Structure 1
Amino acid sequence: MDLNADLGEGFGRWSLGDDRALIDIVTSANVACGFHAGDPETMRRTCELAAARGVAVGAHVGYRDLNGFGRRFVDVDAATLTAEVLYQLGGLDACARAAGTRVAYVKPHGALYNALVEHEAQADAVVDAVRAYDPALPVLGMPGAVWLKRAEVAGLPVRHEAFADRAYSPRGTLLDRRLPGAVLHDPHEVAARCVALAVDGQVRAVDGRLLRIRADSICVHGDTPGAVGVARAVREALTGAGVALRPFAGGLEPAAA
Protein backbone atom coordinates (compact mmCIF):
# COMPACT_ATOMS: atom_id res chain seq x y z
CA MET A 1 0.00 0.00 0.00
CA ASP A 2 1.08 3.56 -0.74
CA LEU A 3 0.68 6.30 1.87
CA ASN A 4 0.43 9.85 0.48
CA ALA A 5 0.12 13.34 1.93
CA ASP A 6 -0.21 16.88 0.58
CA LEU A 7 3.09 18.72 1.02
CA GLY A 8 4.74 21.96 -0.08
CA GLU A 9 1.64 24.02 0.67
CA GLY A 10 3.47 27.02 2.09
CA PHE A 11 3.67 30.27 0.18
CA GLY A 12 6.27 33.00 0.65
CA ARG A 13 6.69 33.57 4.39
CA TRP A 14 3.53 31.60 5.20
CA SER A 15 4.00 27.92 6.13
CA LEU A 16 1.47 25.13 6.46
CA GLY A 17 1.98 21.68 7.94
CA ASP A 18 5.16 19.92 9.03
CA ASP A 19 6.66 18.73 5.76
CA ARG A 20 9.91 17.56 7.32
CA ALA A 21 8.09 15.25 9.74
CA LEU A 22 5.57 13.93 7.23
CA ILE A 23 8.18 13.17 4.57
CA ASP A 24 9.64 10.57 6.95
CA ILE A 25 6.24 8.85 7.28
CA VAL A 26 4.68 8.80 3.80
CA THR A 27 5.79 7.03 0.64
CA SER A 28 4.37 9.58 -1.83
CA ALA A 29 4.21 13.38 -1.63
CA ASN A 30 1.51 15.38 -3.44
CA VAL A 31 3.43 18.61 -4.01
CA ALA A 32 1.53 21.86 -4.56
CA CYS A 33 2.40 23.42 -7.92
CA GLY A 34 1.91 27.12 -7.20
CA PHE A 35 -1.75 27.54 -8.13
CA HIS A 36 -3.66 26.63 -4.96
CA ALA A 37 -0.52 26.84 -2.78
CA GLY A 38 3.24 26.64 -3.03
CA ASP A 39 5.80 28.76 -4.82
CA PRO A 40 8.96 27.92 -6.81
CA GLU A 41 11.26 27.91 -3.78
CA THR A 42 8.87 25.76 -1.74
CA MET A 43 8.38 23.39 -4.68
CA ARG A 44 12.10 22.86 -5.12
CA ARG A 45 12.73 22.45 -1.39
CA THR A 46 9.93 19.88 -1.08
CA CYS A 47 11.27 17.91 -4.05
CA GLU A 48 14.71 17.88 -2.44
CA LEU A 49 13.23 16.47 0.78
CA ALA A 50 11.38 13.78 -1.17
CA ALA A 51 14.40 12.86 -3.27
CA ALA A 52 16.61 12.50 -0.19
CA ARG A 53 14.21 9.94 1.29
CA GLY A 54 13.13 8.02 -1.82
CA VAL A 55 9.58 9.39 -1.60
CA ALA A 56 7.69 9.61 -4.90
CA VAL A 57 6.79 13.15 -6.07
CA GLY A 58 3.28 13.75 -7.36
CA ALA A 59 2.03 16.89 -9.08
CA HIS A 60 -0.83 18.23 -6.95
CA VAL A 61 -2.46 20.36 -9.63
CA GLY A 62 -5.34 22.69 -8.85
CA TYR A 63 -7.37 25.71 -9.82
CA ARG A 64 -5.68 29.12 -9.94
CA ASP A 65 -7.02 30.06 -6.50
CA LEU A 66 -4.37 31.02 -3.93
CA ASN A 67 -6.85 33.05 -1.89
CA GLY A 68 -9.26 30.14 -1.56
CA PHE A 69 -6.58 27.45 -1.24
CA GLY A 70 -8.06 25.76 -4.29
CA ARG A 71 -11.17 24.72 -2.39
CA ARG A 72 -13.60 26.81 -4.48
CA PHE A 73 -14.97 25.55 -7.78
CA VAL A 74 -13.77 27.61 -10.76
CA ASP A 75 -15.82 27.51 -13.96
CA VAL A 76 -12.72 27.69 -16.14
CA ASP A 77 -12.71 27.08 -19.89
CA ALA A 78 -11.49 23.60 -20.80
CA ALA A 79 -8.66 24.84 -23.02
CA THR A 80 -7.47 27.17 -20.27
CA LEU A 81 -7.58 24.38 -17.69
CA THR A 82 -5.53 22.12 -19.95
CA ALA A 83 -2.89 24.82 -20.36
CA GLU A 84 -2.85 25.57 -16.62
CA VAL A 85 -2.38 21.91 -15.69
CA LEU A 86 0.44 21.63 -18.26
CA TYR A 87 2.08 24.70 -16.74
CA GLN A 88 1.91 23.22 -13.25
CA LEU A 89 3.28 19.86 -14.40
CA GLY A 90 6.21 21.47 -16.16
CA GLY A 91 7.10 23.72 -13.25
CA LEU A 92 7.09 20.96 -10.67
CA ASP A 93 8.90 18.50 -12.91
CA ALA A 94 11.71 21.03 -13.42
CA CYS A 95 12.09 21.34 -9.64
CA ALA A 96 11.95 17.57 -9.21
CA ARG A 97 14.60 16.91 -11.86
CA ALA A 98 16.87 19.55 -10.37
CA ALA A 99 16.55 17.66 -7.08
CA GLY A 100 17.48 14.37 -8.73
CA THR A 101 14.00 12.88 -8.96
CA ARG A 102 10.96 13.31 -11.25
CA VAL A 103 7.20 13.78 -11.19
CA ALA A 104 5.89 10.22 -10.82
CA TYR A 105 2.11 10.82 -10.91
CA VAL A 106 -0.65 13.44 -11.03
CA LYS A 107 -3.31 14.08 -8.39
CA PRO A 108 -5.79 16.99 -8.59
CA HIS A 109 -6.29 19.11 -5.49
CA GLY A 110 -9.33 20.24 -3.54
CA ALA A 111 -12.26 21.59 -5.54
CA LEU A 112 -10.76 20.38 -8.80
CA TYR A 113 -10.46 16.85 -7.35
CA ASN A 114 -14.13 16.95 -6.36
CA ALA A 115 -15.28 18.51 -9.64
CA LEU A 116 -13.58 15.80 -11.68
CA VAL A 117 -15.78 13.17 -10.06
CA GLU A 118 -18.63 14.28 -12.35
CA HIS A 119 -17.58 17.30 -14.48
CA GLU A 120 -16.95 15.82 -17.94
CA ALA A 121 -15.50 18.89 -19.68
CA GLN A 122 -12.96 19.55 -16.94
CA ALA A 123 -12.19 15.84 -16.72
CA ASP A 124 -11.33 15.78 -20.42
CA ALA A 125 -9.24 18.94 -20.00
CA VAL A 126 -7.06 17.43 -17.26
CA VAL A 127 -6.70 14.15 -19.17
CA ASP A 128 -5.62 16.10 -22.26
CA ALA A 129 -2.97 17.92 -20.23
CA VAL A 130 -1.49 14.76 -18.75
CA ARG A 131 -1.50 12.98 -22.13
CA ALA A 132 0.23 15.94 -23.76
CA TYR A 133 2.89 16.04 -21.05
CA ASP A 134 3.57 12.33 -20.61
CA PRO A 135 1.08 9.60 -21.63
CA ALA A 136 2.87 7.14 -19.33
CA LEU A 137 2.29 9.29 -16.22
CA PRO A 138 -0.10 7.61 -13.71
CA VAL A 139 -3.09 9.59 -12.43
CA LEU A 140 -4.53 9.25 -8.93
CA GLY A 141 -8.13 9.88 -7.94
CA MET A 142 -11.32 8.66 -6.33
CA PRO A 143 -12.74 5.32 -7.53
CA GLY A 144 -15.63 5.88 -9.94
CA ALA A 145 -14.60 9.44 -10.86
CA VAL A 146 -15.44 10.48 -14.41
CA TRP A 147 -11.93 11.73 -15.02
CA LEU A 148 -10.41 8.36 -14.15
CA LYS A 149 -12.77 6.66 -16.57
CA ARG A 150 -11.77 9.14 -19.29
CA ALA A 151 -8.10 8.70 -18.37
CA GLU A 152 -8.37 4.93 -18.70
CA VAL A 153 -10.00 5.24 -22.12
CA ALA A 154 -7.19 7.61 -23.12
CA GLY A 155 -4.59 5.03 -22.12
CA LEU A 156 -3.27 6.72 -18.99
CA PRO A 157 -2.29 4.47 -16.06
CA VAL A 158 -5.08 4.87 -13.47
CA ARG A 159 -4.66 4.43 -9.71
CA HIS A 160 -7.34 4.68 -7.01
CA GLU A 161 -7.22 6.51 -3.70
CA ALA A 162 -8.91 6.26 -0.32
CA PHE A 163 -8.83 8.82 2.50
CA ALA A 164 -7.66 8.03 6.01
CA ASP A 165 -9.10 11.04 7.80
CA ARG A 166 -12.17 12.00 5.78
CA ALA A 167 -15.73 10.76 6.34
CA TYR A 168 -17.53 9.05 3.45
CA SER A 169 -21.12 9.57 2.37
CA PRO A 170 -23.31 6.53 1.62
CA ARG A 171 -22.60 7.18 -2.10
CA GLY A 172 -18.90 6.63 -1.55
CA THR A 173 -18.03 10.32 -1.98
CA LEU A 174 -16.26 12.47 0.60
CA LEU A 175 -18.47 14.30 3.07
CA ASP A 176 -18.37 18.06 2.55
CA ARG A 177 -15.68 19.60 4.78
CA ARG A 178 -18.20 22.14 6.07
CA LEU A 179 -20.31 19.40 7.68
CA PRO A 180 -19.73 18.19 11.25
CA GLY A 181 -17.60 15.06 11.41
CA ALA A 182 -16.25 15.45 7.86
CA VAL A 183 -12.64 15.39 9.07
CA LEU A 184 -11.52 12.71 11.55
CA HIS A 185 -8.90 13.53 14.18
CA ASP A 186 -8.63 10.49 16.48
CA PRO A 187 -5.37 8.70 15.54
CA HIS A 188 -6.64 5.30 16.72
CA GLU A 189 -9.89 5.57 14.77
CA VAL A 190 -8.10 6.72 11.62
CA ALA A 191 -5.45 4.00 11.92
CA ALA A 192 -8.09 1.29 12.32
CA ARG A 193 -9.93 2.56 9.24
CA CYS A 194 -6.73 2.41 7.22
CA VAL A 195 -6.03 -1.19 8.20
CA ALA A 196 -9.58 -2.12 7.13
CA LEU A 197 -9.04 -0.31 3.83
CA ALA A 198 -5.70 -1.98 3.14
CA VAL A 199 -6.59 -5.48 4.32
CA ASP A 200 -10.33 -5.80 3.60
CA GLY A 201 -10.96 -3.02 1.05
CA GLN A 202 -13.74 -1.60 3.21
CA VAL A 203 -14.62 1.66 4.93
CA ARG A 204 -17.69 2.56 6.98
CA ALA A 205 -19.87 5.43 5.71
CA VAL A 206 -21.45 8.02 8.00
CA ASP A 207 -24.75 6.08 7.99
CA GLY A 208 -22.99 2.94 9.21
CA ARG A 209 -22.98 0.93 6.02
CA LEU A 210 -19.79 -0.71 4.76
CA LEU A 211 -18.47 0.52 1.43
CA ARG A 212 -16.15 -1.44 -0.82
CA ILE A 213 -13.18 0.76 -1.75
CA ARG A 214 -10.45 -0.27 -4.17
CA ALA A 215 -7.36 1.65 -3.14
CA ASP A 216 -3.79 1.75 -4.40
CA SER A 217 -2.97 4.65 -2.08
CA ILE A 218 -4.26 6.10 1.20
CA CYS A 219 -4.15 9.85 1.78
CA VAL A 220 -3.46 11.42 5.17
CA HIS A 221 -3.89 15.18 5.17
CA GLY A 222 -0.99 17.26 6.41
CA ASP A 223 -2.89 20.49 7.08
CA THR A 224 -5.14 19.33 9.92
CA PRO A 225 -4.33 19.62 13.66
CA GLY A 226 -2.32 16.64 14.86
CA ALA A 227 -1.61 15.49 11.31
CA VAL A 228 1.85 14.12 12.06
CA GLY A 229 0.58 12.02 14.96
CA VAL A 230 -2.28 10.68 12.85
CA ALA A 231 0.03 9.84 9.95
CA ARG A 232 2.50 8.11 12.27
CA ALA A 233 -0.31 6.06 13.86
CA VAL A 234 -1.52 5.04 10.41
CA ARG A 235 1.94 3.91 9.30
CA GLU A 236 2.53 1.95 12.50
CA ALA A 237 -0.89 0.27 12.29
CA LEU A 238 -0.41 -0.72 8.65
CA THR A 239 3.07 -2.14 9.15
CA GLY A 240 1.87 -3.86 12.32
CA ALA A 241 -0.85 -5.55 10.26
CA GLY A 242 1.76 -6.82 7.83
CA VAL A 243 1.01 -4.29 5.09
CA ALA A 244 4.13 -3.37 3.11
CA LEU A 245 4.36 0.36 2.35
CA ARG A 246 5.83 1.55 -0.95
CA PRO A 247 5.04 4.19 -3.61
CA PHE A 248 2.33 3.07 -6.02
CA ALA A 249 4.08 4.97 -8.82
CA GLY A 250 7.47 3.42 -8.20
CA GLY A 251 9.95 4.81 -5.75
CA LEU A 252 13.48 6.06 -6.17
CA GLU A 253 16.41 5.21 -3.98
CA PRO A 254 17.17 7.94 -1.43
CA ALA A 255 19.80 10.36 -2.67
CA ALA A 256 23.35 9.79 -1.47
CA ALA A 257 24.26 11.84 1.58
Structure 2
Amino acid sequence: MSRTVYVNGEYVPEEEAKISVFDRGFLFADGVYEVTSVLDGKLVDFAGHMTRLDRSLNELGMKRPVDDAQMEAIHRELIVQNELEEGMIYLQVTRGAADRDFAYPSEDTPPSLVLFTQSKPLVDTAASQNGIKVAFVDDIRWGRRDIKTVQLLAPSMCKMAAKAQGADDAWMVEEEHVTEGTSNNAYIVTKSGTIVTRNLSNSILHGITRAAVLRLAAESQMKVEERPFTPEEAKDAAEAFVTAASSFVQPVVEIDGVTLGDGKPGPIAKRLREIYIAEARAQAI
Protein backbone atom coordinates (compact mmCIF):
# COMPACT_ATOMS: atom_id res chain seq x y z
CA MET A 1 0.00 0.00 0.00
CA SER A 2 1.30 3.43 -0.96
CA ARG A 3 2.04 5.91 1.80
CA THR A 4 0.46 9.31 1.99
CA VAL A 5 3.07 12.05 2.32
CA TYR A 6 2.81 15.78 2.93
CA VAL A 7 4.39 18.21 0.48
CA ASN A 8 3.94 21.97 0.83
CA GLY A 9 0.34 21.95 2.02
CA GLU A 10 -0.92 18.84 0.26
CA TYR A 11 -1.37 15.19 1.27
CA VAL A 12 -0.49 13.07 -1.74
CA PRO A 13 0.40 9.45 -2.56
CA GLU A 14 4.17 9.03 -2.38
CA GLU A 15 4.32 8.24 -6.11
CA GLU A 16 2.86 11.67 -6.88
CA ALA A 17 4.99 13.68 -4.44
CA LYS A 18 7.07 16.35 -6.18
CA ILE A 19 9.61 18.97 -5.13
CA SER A 20 11.29 21.52 -7.39
CA VAL A 21 14.63 20.61 -8.97
CA PHE A 22 15.69 24.10 -7.85
CA ASP A 23 14.90 23.42 -4.20
CA ARG A 24 17.93 24.39 -2.11
CA GLY A 25 17.60 21.23 -0.08
CA PHE A 26 18.41 19.30 -3.25
CA LEU A 27 21.03 21.70 -4.60
CA PHE A 28 22.84 22.71 -1.40
CA ALA A 29 21.54 20.48 1.43
CA ASP A 30 20.20 23.81 2.67
CA GLY A 31 17.63 22.39 5.04
CA VAL A 32 17.00 20.86 8.42
CA TYR A 33 15.00 17.88 9.62
CA GLU A 34 13.46 16.23 12.65
CA VAL A 35 12.21 12.73 13.31
CA THR A 36 9.53 11.98 15.89
CA SER A 37 8.87 8.47 17.11
CA VAL A 38 5.34 7.09 17.13
CA LEU A 39 4.25 4.56 19.75
CA ASP A 40 0.70 3.25 19.95
CA GLY A 41 -0.27 5.84 17.35
CA LYS A 42 0.99 8.71 19.54
CA LEU A 43 3.87 11.18 19.23
CA VAL A 44 6.89 10.83 21.52
CA ASP A 45 8.79 13.93 22.76
CA PHE A 46 7.03 16.10 20.17
CA ALA A 47 7.55 19.37 22.05
CA GLY A 48 11.27 18.70 22.34
CA HIS A 49 11.57 18.06 18.62
CA MET A 50 9.75 21.30 17.83
CA THR A 51 12.05 23.24 20.15
CA ARG A 52 15.11 21.77 18.43
CA LEU A 53 13.59 22.45 15.01
CA ASP A 54 13.27 26.13 15.94
CA ARG A 55 16.88 26.19 17.10
CA SER A 56 18.14 24.64 13.86
CA LEU A 57 16.09 27.05 11.75
CA ASN A 58 17.27 30.05 13.75
CA GLU A 59 20.91 29.03 13.46
CA LEU A 60 20.52 28.99 9.66
CA GLY A 61 18.34 32.09 9.42
CA MET A 62 15.54 30.01 7.91
CA LYS A 63 11.80 30.67 8.17
CA ARG A 64 9.36 28.35 9.94
CA PRO A 65 6.73 27.22 7.40
CA VAL A 66 3.98 26.42 9.95
CA ASP A 67 3.54 26.85 13.70
CA ASP A 68 3.58 24.07 16.31
CA ALA A 69 -0.19 23.54 16.26
CA GLN A 70 -0.23 23.19 12.48
CA MET A 71 2.81 20.92 12.55
CA GLU A 72 1.16 18.68 15.15
CA ALA A 73 -2.01 18.54 13.05
CA ILE A 74 0.01 17.44 10.01
CA HIS A 75 1.72 14.72 12.05
CA ARG A 76 -1.62 13.46 13.37
CA GLU A 77 -3.18 13.42 9.91
CA LEU A 78 -0.27 11.37 8.57
CA ILE A 79 -0.69 8.91 11.45
CA VAL A 80 -4.36 8.52 10.56
CA GLN A 81 -3.95 8.31 6.80
CA ASN A 82 -1.09 5.81 7.04
CA GLU A 83 -2.57 3.87 9.98
CA LEU A 84 0.76 4.25 11.76
CA GLU A 85 0.94 2.52 15.13
CA GLU A 86 4.72 2.26 15.57
CA GLY A 87 7.49 3.96 13.64
CA MET A 88 8.64 7.46 12.81
CA ILE A 89 7.57 10.65 11.12
CA TYR A 90 10.29 12.58 9.33
CA LEU A 91 9.93 16.27 8.53
CA GLN A 92 12.24 18.37 6.40
CA VAL A 93 12.28 22.14 6.00
CA THR A 94 14.39 23.72 3.28
CA ARG A 95 15.05 27.33 2.31
CA GLY A 96 12.84 26.74 -0.71
CA ALA A 97 13.22 26.85 -4.48
CA ALA A 98 15.27 29.56 -6.17
CA ASP A 99 17.69 29.94 -9.05
CA ARG A 100 21.03 28.30 -8.18
CA ASP A 101 23.27 30.69 -6.25
CA PHE A 102 25.47 30.22 -3.22
CA ALA A 103 23.93 33.37 -1.73
CA TYR A 104 20.62 32.84 0.03
CA PRO A 105 17.54 33.80 -2.01
CA SER A 106 15.34 36.74 -1.05
CA GLU A 107 13.57 36.51 2.29
CA ASP A 108 10.17 36.26 0.62
CA THR A 109 11.12 32.86 -0.90
CA PRO A 110 8.67 30.39 0.70
CA PRO A 111 10.35 27.49 2.54
CA SER A 112 9.59 23.92 1.51
CA LEU A 113 8.02 21.49 3.98
CA VAL A 114 7.91 17.73 3.47
CA LEU A 115 6.79 15.04 5.92
CA PHE A 116 6.58 11.28 5.53
CA THR A 117 6.05 8.25 7.74
CA GLN A 118 8.15 5.13 8.20
CA SER A 119 6.48 2.12 9.76
CA LYS A 120 8.92 -0.09 11.66
CA PRO A 121 9.22 -1.84 15.03
CA LEU A 122 10.85 0.28 17.71
CA VAL A 123 10.22 -1.65 20.92
CA ASP A 124 10.75 -5.31 20.03
CA THR A 125 13.84 -5.40 17.82
CA ALA A 126 16.72 -7.80 17.36
CA ALA A 127 19.19 -4.97 17.95
CA SER A 128 17.69 -4.13 21.34
CA GLN A 129 17.74 -7.77 22.40
CA ASN A 130 21.19 -8.68 21.10
CA GLY A 131 23.00 -5.34 20.99
CA ILE A 132 24.99 -3.88 18.12
CA LYS A 133 28.65 -3.70 17.13
CA VAL A 134 30.39 -0.40 16.45
CA ALA A 135 33.72 0.47 14.88
CA PHE A 136 35.79 3.63 15.12
CA VAL A 137 35.90 5.90 12.07
CA ASP A 138 37.42 9.37 11.67
CA ASP A 139 34.81 12.11 12.07
CA ILE A 140 34.77 13.88 8.70
CA ARG A 141 31.65 16.01 9.28
CA TRP A 142 31.45 19.81 9.29
CA GLY A 143 31.83 21.87 12.46
CA ARG A 144 28.16 22.57 13.26
CA ARG A 145 26.80 19.14 14.14
CA ASP A 146 24.49 20.77 16.69
CA ILE A 147 22.31 21.92 13.77
CA LYS A 148 20.20 19.02 12.55
CA THR A 149 20.75 19.59 8.84
CA VAL A 150 20.01 17.29 5.93
CA GLN A 151 23.76 17.15 5.19
CA LEU A 152 24.02 13.43 5.93
CA LEU A 153 26.52 12.22 3.33
CA ALA A 154 29.47 12.24 5.76
CA PRO A 155 27.74 10.13 8.43
CA SER A 156 26.48 7.81 5.69
CA MET A 157 30.07 7.35 4.51
CA CYS A 158 31.17 6.70 8.09
CA LYS A 159 28.44 4.10 8.57
CA MET A 160 29.44 2.30 5.40
CA ALA A 161 33.10 2.36 6.47
CA ALA A 162 32.07 0.70 9.74
CA LYS A 163 29.97 -1.89 7.89
CA ALA A 164 33.00 -2.72 5.75
CA GLN A 165 34.71 -3.66 9.03
CA GLY A 166 31.85 -5.97 9.98
CA ALA A 167 30.19 -3.55 12.41
CA ASP A 168 26.63 -2.26 12.51
CA ASP A 169 27.49 1.40 13.00
CA ALA A 170 30.39 3.81 13.46
CA TRP A 171 31.48 5.75 16.50
CA MET A 172 33.17 8.79 15.05
CA VAL A 173 36.46 10.00 16.51
CA GLU A 174 37.94 13.49 16.44
CA GLU A 175 41.09 14.66 18.24
CA GLU A 176 41.42 11.28 19.95
CA HIS A 177 37.94 11.38 21.49
CA VAL A 178 34.61 9.86 20.47
CA THR A 179 32.04 12.38 19.27
CA GLU A 180 28.92 10.26 18.57
CA GLY A 181 27.41 7.62 16.34
CA THR A 182 26.32 8.29 12.78
CA SER A 183 22.72 8.92 13.86
CA ASN A 184 22.83 8.63 17.64
CA ASN A 185 24.54 9.80 20.80
CA ALA A 186 27.17 7.48 22.30
CA TYR A 187 27.62 6.33 25.91
CA ILE A 188 29.91 4.05 27.87
CA VAL A 189 29.46 2.64 31.37
CA THR A 190 32.66 2.38 33.38
CA LYS A 191 33.48 -0.65 35.49
CA SER A 192 32.49 1.40 38.53
CA GLY A 193 29.01 1.91 37.02
CA THR A 194 29.29 5.54 35.88
CA ILE A 195 27.54 6.50 32.64
CA VAL A 196 29.80 8.68 30.49
CA THR A 197 28.65 10.63 27.44
CA ARG A 198 30.07 13.61 25.62
CA ASN A 199 28.97 17.04 26.85
CA LEU A 200 26.87 19.27 24.62
CA SER A 201 28.69 21.54 22.17
CA ASN A 202 28.81 22.23 18.45
CA SER A 203 30.60 18.87 18.08
CA ILE A 204 27.51 16.70 18.62
CA LEU A 205 23.79 16.76 18.03
CA HIS A 206 21.76 17.84 21.05
CA GLY A 207 19.70 14.67 21.18
CA ILE A 208 16.10 14.88 22.39
CA THR A 209 16.24 11.22 23.47
CA ARG A 210 19.63 11.94 25.08
CA ALA A 211 18.09 14.65 27.27
CA ALA A 212 15.23 12.38 28.35
CA VAL A 213 17.54 9.44 29.10
CA LEU A 214 19.95 11.53 31.17
CA ARG A 215 17.02 12.90 33.18
CA LEU A 216 15.69 9.39 33.80
CA ALA A 217 19.17 8.18 34.76
CA ALA A 218 19.46 10.96 37.33
CA GLU A 219 15.99 10.20 38.69
CA SER A 220 17.07 6.55 39.04
CA GLN A 221 20.12 7.57 41.08
CA MET A 222 22.55 6.55 38.34
CA LYS A 223 25.86 8.43 38.23
CA VAL A 224 26.44 10.37 34.99
CA GLU A 225 29.48 12.24 33.71
CA GLU A 226 29.14 14.49 30.67
CA ARG A 227 32.61 14.66 29.15
CA PRO A 228 34.56 13.41 26.13
CA PHE A 229 35.87 9.85 26.35
CA THR A 230 38.62 8.14 24.38
CA PRO A 231 38.43 5.05 22.18
CA GLU A 232 40.60 3.26 24.75
CA GLU A 233 38.12 4.06 27.53
CA ALA A 234 35.31 2.77 25.35
CA LYS A 235 37.02 -0.56 24.68
CA ASP A 236 37.67 -0.95 28.41
CA ALA A 237 34.06 -0.17 29.41
CA ALA A 238 31.77 -2.55 31.24
CA GLU A 239 28.98 -1.81 28.78
CA ALA A 240 27.89 0.77 26.24
CA PHE A 241 24.82 2.03 24.43
CA VAL A 242 23.47 4.66 22.04
CA THR A 243 20.32 6.76 22.10
CA ALA A 244 18.18 8.12 19.28
CA ALA A 245 14.53 8.76 18.49
CA SER A 246 14.61 5.85 16.05
CA SER A 247 16.13 3.31 18.46
CA PHE A 248 15.50 4.69 21.99
CA VAL A 249 18.26 3.13 24.14
CA GLN A 250 20.17 0.54 22.12
CA PRO A 251 22.89 -1.59 23.75
CA VAL A 252 26.36 -1.85 22.24
CA VAL A 253 28.10 -5.21 22.81
CA GLU A 254 31.26 -4.82 20.75
CA ILE A 255 33.51 -1.82 20.12
CA ASP A 256 36.14 -1.91 17.38
CA GLY A 257 36.46 -5.68 17.63
CA VAL A 258 36.53 -5.79 21.45
CA THR A 259 33.65 -7.61 23.15
CA LEU A 260 32.23 -5.81 26.18
CA GLY A 261 31.49 -7.93 29.23
CA ASP A 262 29.87 -11.22 28.28
CA GLY A 263 28.91 -9.93 24.85
CA LYS A 264 25.29 -9.34 25.85
CA PRO A 265 23.39 -6.09 26.56
CA GLY A 266 24.42 -4.71 29.94
CA PRO A 267 22.10 -4.15 32.91
CA ILE A 268 22.25 -0.36 32.87
CA ALA A 269 21.43 -0.11 29.17
CA LYS A 270 18.59 -2.61 29.57
CA ARG A 271 17.18 -0.76 32.57
CA LEU A 272 17.36 2.64 30.87
CA ARG A 273 15.63 1.22 27.82
CA GLU A 274 12.82 -0.15 29.97
CA ILE A 275 12.19 3.07 31.86
CA TYR A 276 12.53 5.25 28.74
CA ILE A 277 9.93 3.23 26.83
CA ALA A 278 7.59 3.27 29.81
CA GLU A 279 8.00 7.04 30.14
CA ALA A 280 7.60 7.57 26.40
CA ARG A 281 4.35 5.64 26.35
CA ALA A 282 3.04 7.48 29.40
CA GLN A 283 3.90 10.95 28.07
CA ALA A 284 3.18 10.47 24.34
CA ILE A 285 0.49 12.72 22.91
Normalised TM-score (structure 2): 0.28
Q: Determine which structure has more spread, i.e. the larger CA radius of gyration.
A: 2
* Larger RCO, structure (CA 8 Å, separation 6 or more): 1
**Which has more helix, going by share of residues?**
1
Could you tell me the TM-score, scaled by structure 1's length?
0.30
Q: Which has the higher strand share?
A: 2
